[in-house]
Structure 1
Amino acid sequence: MQDIVILFMGALALLFIARKVACRIGLVDRPNGRKRHNGSIPLVGGISVYLSLWLIFLLQITSFPQFLVYMCCVTLLLLVGIADDRFDLPVLPRFGVQAAVAAVMMWEGVYLSSLGNIWFGSVLMLGSFGYLVTLLAVIAAINAFNMMDGLDGVLGAVSSVTIGSLAIIFWLGGRHDIALWCICLIVICLPYMLLNIGFPWGKKFKVFMGDSGSMLIGFTVIWLLIIASQGPGAVMKPITGLWLIAVPLVDMLRVMTARMKRGANPFKPDREHLHHVLLRSGLNAYMIPMATALLSMLFSVTGLLIDKMNLTSMVSLIAFIMSSFIYISLIGLFSKNYQELKTEKGLQLPDAQNSTYTVKSNVEWRAKSITGRDESPW
């Protein structure tokens, strides 16, 4: 317990130091046509988490498989993330670096070799095709979590549920060292989450995660999922991993599909992510992180129960697809009702390109004015 307290205090100190340095060198997020927060906010959440990962290593609280290789990959993602935060890099360089770290982890033997008993009860081995599946999985996970970082508290809430679920899975599977490492990861993210929502020092010390941090979180999650589901030390079925990252993954696929249907670039940012839809439906800035966390918990608990009931991966996959369709349908219903309310009542409600607003109407529907930035380049 003492080590955990020291780790938290160290992470908090590193965050304040990184914040001060970022303000001096201009590593801040400034308001523009798409980012509607107030003032210049330091983009240092990812940097503080990265430095705190080394603190876990130095304190020797627990061990992590192939830690130095993992940190090499994370360092590369951190550097390109900082460059993206500072200079707004195009899509291809980011994809190139994400593919590079995927190649490094596969070279070290961390890759998807099997999808479990998904083929009518038989184990489906991927062989060489597993490298391609792993590459796509890494890029998808990194960008799915990156897209979650568009509203204060959302990324922290969703990632905490995912990593916490993994901690439970590793602990139940007897891999207590990695379970403790997952707990330590949540602990070092906690200072960022507190300052991000303005607790307890208010907006004066506010920070954003930045692309460096969201990519770090996404890569770490996919690394943990592969460790948990592959090889002789596997503690869960591979399909269970989909349940643990369902909210960011399904939301990314939903948004990108909608963009392509409109004939738009799937990588062009808009205001159609889950947190934007919930915002326009009337939830305020404090309710949305809780709502996304509860939704993520619902998916995670369902996946864990299916996994522990020893149902086949085919059953788990079918249940996941059905649940995803229900989720997408409900989000579509929220959006449809919003548009109908706007049309029928003649209210001056914000459109999909606006997320900072305060509304009053004859039905006493009010959404609190919030910091509605979209850190992600998506």
Structure 2
Amino acid sequence: MVEASQQPWLSIIAAVIISAVGTLLFSQLAPSLGLVDHPGGRKAHLRAVPLVGGLAIFIALIGTAWFTGIARPAAPFLVAITLVAAVGVWDDFAEVSPRVKLAIQIAAACLMIWGAGVELRSVGDLLGWRSIGLSAFAIPMTVFAVVGVINAVNMMDGMDGLGGSIAVIALAWYAAVAVTSGLTLQWETALILAGAIAGFLLFNLRFPWQPHARVFLGDAGSLMIGFALGWFAIDLTQGPGRTFPPIAALWVIVLPLADCVSLMTRRLRARRSPFEADRQHIHHYLLSRGFTHSQTLGILVLLSSAFGAVGYFGWRMGVPEPVLFWPFFFGYFAYHFWITREWKRLEAAT
């Protein structure tokens, strides 16, 4: 075995290669496994696409974790993410009821709490008075936060390359936080997962020789990535020696969070289920305004990178938490009112 802390680039390269090879292999097996997304309904693709990206990423994560020797110390994380990946594969194969998926997500969050001690005990000093502890609400708020991030990432995975790209950016920022904080296991795990996603993106992004995605993440991938981001957002901000504030962690994943919360709010106001799928995500808006797929992806990747930089460098420069919180708070509402007005205007024009 190779210690990832001694050969960090080797572990990333290994994850990329295992994921890429796994993606190719599982793509060939997808029809016989029943892991194929067929066109129809709201779907933009016109041909059947394998739903095996998540499976390849999972194999790459587990394989590289074993190869680099971090599987044992990272066992609680790997066991919990296995649970999430399993229900995702099950859902890709045969639709699982929302209640079952929710129950598995809650179970994974509970494994995180009691198996690894990763728990949201404080939301930080948001108002400038003192750190706001959650006390008896710590466990339910941890579960709520993790399930929320899982579903925010899952809901945003609606365009070739988008979900994976946003995830790699967020994991890179979280890895930077872990490196700066001296949290070796966390940065090793984050970079291995980022490498695994990068291997999948070779077949999910659009290139001149690849005009459309050859493989999709599937629920296995999006749920797994969402869980990992929720885990790191909490793990890097809680406990002894952790100085990265929770509000800074939220800046790293603000794009899927804001998109999800705004969309669910609009659905509720329209007397619809907040979980009812539609085509009113931020990427749908940009496409409707005439931006190409590549331009839309580029805009959202740049925004995600910039928001992550706000969180990371705000922390490194010692920016007070309220100064990070209030722009986040008012920025969300400004975005919500703007996107709501824009969709109403577009609907009125059609």
Query: What TM-score results when the alignment is normalised by the length of structure 2?
Result: 0.91
Decide whether the 8 Å contact of 2:124 with 2:132 is kept in 1: yes
Change over 3 Å in CA distance of 1:338–1:3 after alignment to 2 = same
Q: Residue in 2 aligned with 1:17?
A: 25
Distance 1:333 1:161, change over 3 A: farther
CA gap of 1:92–1:127, structure 2 versus 1, over 3 A, is same
Aligned residue for 2:81?
Answer: 74
| Contact 2:18 2:59 survives alignment (8 Å) | no
Residue identity in the other structure for 1:316? L
Q: CA deviation at 1:333?
A: 5.1
Which residue is equivalent to 2:6? Answer: none
Report the equivalent of 1:202.
210
Which residue does the alignment assign to 1:365?
A: none
Distance 1:182 1:3 in 2: 11
Q: CA deviation at 1:119?
A: 4.7
CA contact under 8 A between 1:281 and 1:335: conserved in structure 2? Answer: no
Q: What is the match of residue 358 of structure 1?
A: none
State how far apart, in whole Å, the 1-side matches of 2:14 and 2:312 are. Answer: 32
Instruction: Tell me: CA distance 1:298–1:6, structure 2 relative to 1, closer, same or farther (3 Å).
Output: closer
65, 85, 91: which is aligned to 2:92? 85
1:86-137 residue CA offsets vs partner (Å, 9 max, x unmatched)? 2222321111111111111111211111122235331222122110110100
User: Is 2:88–2:219's contact at 8 Å kept on the other side of the alignment?
Assistant: yes
How many residue pairs get aligned? The number is 341
Task: Output the CA distance in 2 between the equivalents of 1:2 and 1:296.
Answer: 27
CA contact (8 A) 1:169 1:235 kept: no
Q: Which moved more, 1:216-225 or 1:86-95?
A: 86-95
| Aligned CA distance change for structure 1 residues 334 and 205 (closer, same or farther; 3 Å) | closer
Find the aligned partners of 1:18 and 1:257 in 2 and give their Cα distance: 37
Bigger Cα displacement from structure 2, 320-329 vs 266-275: 320-329
- How far 1:215 moved relative to its partner? 0.4
Correspondence 1:95 to 2:102: yes
DSSP 3-state at the match of 2:236 = helix
Cross-structure match for 1:134: 142
User: Cα offset for 1:198?
Assistant: 4.3
Match of 1:38 in 2: 46
Give yes or no for contact 1:64–1:177 (8 Å, CA) kept in 2: no
Q: Matched residues in 2 for 1:183 and 1:250: separation?
A: 25
CA contact 1:167–1:179 (8 Å) conserved in 2: yes
Aligned-pair distance for 1:260? 0.6
Matches of 1:19 and 1:219, distance apart in 2? 24
The 1:203–1:26 alpha-carbon spacing in structure 2 relative to 1, beyond 3 Å, is farther
Q: 1:119 to 1:328 in 2, by over 3 A?
A: closer
How far off its partner does 1:166 sit?
A: 0.8
Do structure 1's residue 189 and structure 2's residue 197 form an aligned pair?
yes
For residues 231 and 33 of structure 1, the distance between their equivalents in structure 2, rounded to whole angstroms, comes to: 46
**1:302 maps to 2:310:** yes
Q: What amino acid sits opposite 1:18 in the alignment? A: F
Q: CA deviation at 1:204?
A: 8.4
**Structure number with bigger Rg:** 1
1:244 aligns with 2:256: no
CA deviation after TM superposition for structure 1 residue 205, in Å = 7.5
Task: Give, in angstroms, the shift of residue 212 of structure 1.
Answer: 0.8
1:284 aligns with 2:321: no
1:262 aligns with 2:273: no
1:220 aligned to 2:243? no
Q: Is the 8 A contact 1:157 1:290 kept in 2?
A: no
Q: Residues 49 and 189 of structure 1 are in contact (CA less than 8 Å); yes or no, is this contact kept in structure 2?
A: yes
Shift of 1:177: 4.2
Q: Secondary structure at the match of 1:115?
A: coil
Cα deviation 1:150-192 (Å, max 9, x = unaligned): 1111101211221111111112222244223322222111121
Structure 2: distance between partners of 1:326 and 1:25 = 45
CA gap of 1:198–1:9, structure 2 versus 1, over 3 A, is same
Q: Equivalents in 2 of 1:106, 1:233: separation in Å?
A: 18
Distance in 1 between the 2:288 and 2:213 partners? Answer: 27
Could you tell me how far 1:217 is from its partner in structure 2?
A: 0.2
TM-score where L is the length of structure 1: 0.84
How far is 1:337 from its partner? 5.2
Could you tell me which of 328, 331, 339 is aligned with 1:331?
A: 339
Alignment partner, residue 166 of structure 1: 174
Summarize deviations over 1:337-376 as a string: whole Å, max 9, x none.
Answer: 5446x45xxxxxxxxxxxxxxxxxxxxxxxxxxxxxxxxx
Where does the alignment leave 5 or more consecutive residues of structure 2 unmatched? 1-8
Amino acid at match of 1:227: D
SS in 2 for 1:151: coil
1:95 is matched by which residue type in structure 2?
Answer: L
Could you tell me which amino acid in structure 2 is paired with residue 85 of structure 1? D
CA distance in 1 between counterparts of 2:11 and 2:98 reads 40
The root-mean-square deviation of aligned C-alpha atoms, in Å, is 2.1
Q: Which residue of 1 aligns with 2:126?
A: 118
**Code of the aligned partner of 1:77:** V
The one-character-per-residue Cα deviations of 1:49-80 (angstroms, maximum 9, x if unpaired) are 110111222221x6378522222211211121
Unaligned runs of 5+ residues in structure 1 are 344-378
